[in-house]
Structure 1
Amino acid sequence: MASVLRTSRTKPVWSALARARFSSTAPKNTTLKERLAELIPLELENVKRVRAEHGKKAFGPVIVDQLYGGMRGLPALIWDGSVLDADEGIRFRGKTIPECQELLPKAPGGAEPLPEGLFWLLVTGEIPTQEQVTELSKDWAARSAIPEFVEEILDRCPPTLHPMSQFSLAVTALNHNSAFAKAYQDGVSKKEYWGPTFEDSMDLIAKLPNIAGRIYRNVFAAGKLPAIDPSKDYSHNLSTLLGFGDNAAFVELMRLYITIHSDHEGGNVSAHTGKLVGSALSDPFLAFAASLNGLAGPLHGLANQEVLIWLSKMQSQIGENASDEAVKEYVWATLKGGQVVPGYGHAVLRKTDPRYTAQREFALKHLPDDPLFKLVGQIYNVVPDILLEAGKAKNPWPNVDAHSGALLSHYGLTQMQFYTVLFGVSRAFGVTAQLIWDRALGAPLERPKSYSTAAIEKMFKDKS
């Protein structure tokens, strides 16, 4: 479909100072850990300055409806990797998705950014060199093997156990070899917490393709799991483990997919859960396993599965190449049946999700004639107006989940129960980047105050 994506024009939320801080490229000839060690003392001073200047200032009111409404919009967390603005969309360390696509290093012959570069950006705020990204690929490949007992855990899982449950089990079990847990038991200084946290985070990200590949092969496919190729990038190895490494377009899709799903500021369930559990000094494996359990919910990461189910049902009922009127009738029937249109609306965004836009542009380039993609385009053209007419959504625009299933299924990855596992592999990048900085900056145990309904009533009664 050739429709123009509907977006609103707004002023950027990032100040000139913030843009300057996060616009530099990484110094050459340094590893990620070496660069991080250089940046930590600088950021400690920066945080100290911000708290000295602004620490006693009010930062937004709290109303009772926010307490009952899931803390919606409540400013309560520091999350440095990304910021989500309701009108502008997501920025990774100040950079939009199109900017990341342009600036981050690519694989030879590729057009999409390498997730290795995105992780470097999330951790440092800097664009790495091609050589630094290549070394990061090699480092992750060298760390990629999972313990035999974790392999046995996965192999003994019944195929009826949801892939996300298996994913969480395996990541939790990796805690057995946690560098942070061992260092903490050995009495490591608080100032050095970030070092073993970094090592655990690197190990975690590196091992996720082997875990995801083993789950996919056990549940949906056959054949021996191939070995990680140290000469290939992270997304290529993940694609190979899933059985799609020979398809260059699928590999490119994985590079884009992991990049745009990596982080979405700290208030979403998976990110917040990882930060919360990590604040108790649980190691990155335990913290991220908790993130995965939140991601597995149908109101979060499982939504991409829900979208494809809905699309498949629609396609089976109205057929391929159906008219706009047939699509409208099906959407209205969904709403009148008391259901929502999956993939539309967002807790924060009030425009078309830039991650949806990136996937749409990929589809227009690689699979413009795919019937399911055409249906996704038709839905985009009709659903927002219907939702506005029905009064069903403050934000009638599509989010990232509205598109990803159509892309994956086009290349033969049709097992929708597995989709959230890919989301989980991606989300590890943002969660671990923040965990590293939380330990480096000495972030405290997260402990918000809660109130009972009776206490709220008494509070306002006493004030009246």
Structure 2
Amino acid sequence: MALYRNAASKFISAHQKVHPLAALATRTQYSTESTDLREIMSQKIPAMQEEVKKFRKAHGVTKVGEITVDMMYGGMRDMKGLVTETSVLDPEEGIRFRGYSLPECQNVLPAAEGDILVIVYCTGDVPTKAQAKALSKERANLADLPPTWSTCSTTSPSTSTPWRTKLPTVAATIYRNLYHDGTSIGAIDPNKEWSANFTAMLGYNDPSL
């Protein structure tokens, strides 16, 4: 979004004589000292929400370009049609992650093992080595499957794909544990199609769904 806001601000400035927003995409932002990604996100999200709110209020009706039929048939190149936070694929210079090109990532990001790009994606900041390693450690600690799940997977026939059909049930169980005090997902109705069963397992029984 920083890239988009920067480009949009330049466009608006040139046509409406308003001051552009800060060039967020061209500024290296270093993260806080905390190694808890949840804490970092909880601090950044409200400020980002407020920034977007102000930007939309000031420029919500501003036109940022024109779209032709040829552009649509040409793969939507150079069409400003979506605000993206994490990455943007430029037809000329390639992909950028949170405003950083691949060469810039190599120069700016710390040369350390760890989930560096995950933190850049989530926060837009350059993480410290300690933060990257802390996230890698946390993800590794949560990666093991419970013994019952491993047994189910290893004892299933090699030609079967049991997890694909069970994933909705697993997801619904996790959802109800988080948001419905661990209440039961109920019985799966073999006479209903996949989406109807899934929404029912989540706890949404409105027929309009």
For Structure 1 versus Structure 2, the TM-score category normalised by the shorter chain is: 0.5 to 0.7
Shift of 1:98: 1.9
Report deviation, 1:40.
0.8
Q: Which amino acid aligns with 2:25?
A: R
- Superposed CA deviations along residues 74-96 of structure 1, whole A, max 9, x for unmatched, are 54433200111111211111111
The corresponding residue for 2:131 is 132
User: Per-residue displacement from partner, 1:24-52 (whole Å, max 9, x unpaired)?
Assistant: 11111341110100001100111101111
Counterpart code for 1:156: S
Q: Per the alignment, do residues 70 and 88 of structure 1 end up closer, same or farther by CA in structure 2, a change over 3 Å counting?
A: closer
Is 1:36 matched with 2:32?
no
SS at match of 2:100: coil
Letter in 2 for 1:23: T
Correspondence for 1:72 among 73, 76, 90? 76
User: Per the alignment, do residues 146 and 95 of structure 1 end up closer, same or farther by CA in structure 2, a change over 3 Å counting?
Assistant: same
Q: 1:11-410 alignment to 2 at 5 Å? A: 17-20=23-26, 23-62=28-67, 72-73=76-77, 75-107=80-112, 114=113, 116-148=115-147, 150-151=149-150, 152-153=152-153, 155-156=155-156, 158-159=158-159, 172=168, 174-178=170-174, 180-185=175-180
Residues 275-311 of structure 1: CA deviation (Å, up to 9, x unaligned): xxxxxxx9xxxxxxxxxxxxxxxxxxxxxxxxxxxxx
Instruction: Give CA-to-partner distance per residue, 1:328-381, whole Å, 9 cap, x none.
Output: xxxxxxxxxxxxxxxxxxxxxxxxxxxxxxxxxxxxxxxxxxxxxxxxxxxxxx
**In 2, are the aligned partners of 1:80 and 1:93 still within 8 Å (CA)?**
yes
C-alpha deviation, 1:172, in angstroms: 4.9
Residue 99 of structure 1 aligns to a residue in which SS? Answer: helix
Q: Take 2:165 and 2:65, find their aligned partners in 1: how far apart are those partners? A: 39
- Distance across 2 between alignment mates of 1:169 and 1:70: 38
Distance in 2 separating the partners of 1:101 and 1:167: 38
Name the count of aligned residue pairs. Answer: 163
1:122-171 CA-to-partner distances (Å, cap 9, x unmatched) read 00011111111111111111111124454324652534x6xxx7885576
The one-letter amino acid paired with 2:24 is A
Find the aligned partners of 2:142 and 2:164 in 1 and give their Cα distance.
19
Q: Deviations over 1:214-270 (max 9, x none)?
A: xxxxxxxxxxxxxxxxxxxxxxxxxxxxxxxxxxxxxxxxxxxxxxxxxxxxxxxxx
C-alpha change, 1:54 and 1:150, in structure 2 (3 Å) is farther
**CA distance 1:98–1:169, change in 2 (3 Å):** farther
Structure (1/2) with the larger helix percentage: 1
Gaps (5+ residues) in structure 1? Answer: 1-11, 108-113, 187-281, 283-464
Secondary structure at 1:146's aligned position in 2?
Answer: coil
Asked whether the 8 Å contact 1:32–1:120 carries over to 2, the reply is: yes
Give SS of 1:91's match: strand
Distance 1:170 1:50, change over 3 A: farther
Change (3 A) 1:29 1:184: closer
TM-score by length of 1: 0.30
| Mapped contact 2:156–2:162 kept (Cα < 8 A) | no
In structure 2, the CA distance between the partners of 1:149 and 1:23, relative to structure 1 (3 Å rule), is same
Question: Contact conserved, 1:104 with 1:128, CA < 8 A, in 2?
Answer: yes
Q: Cα RMSD between the aligned structures?
A: 3.5
Distance 1:77 1:185, change over 3 A: farther
Give me the whole-angstrom Cα distance separating, in 1, the residues matched to 2:33 and 2:60: 36
Report the CA distance between 1:175 and its aligned residue. 1.3
Deviation at residue 19 of structure 1 after TM alignment: 2.4
Query: CA, structure 1 residues 156+72, in 2 after alignment: closer, same or farther (shift >3 Å)?
Result: farther
Residue identity in the other structure for 1:72? M
What TM-score comes out, normalization by structure 2 length?
0.61
Counterpart residue type for residue 143 of structure 1: L
| Separation (CA, whole Å) in 2 of partners of 1:44 and 1:31 | 21
Identity, in percent, stands at 29
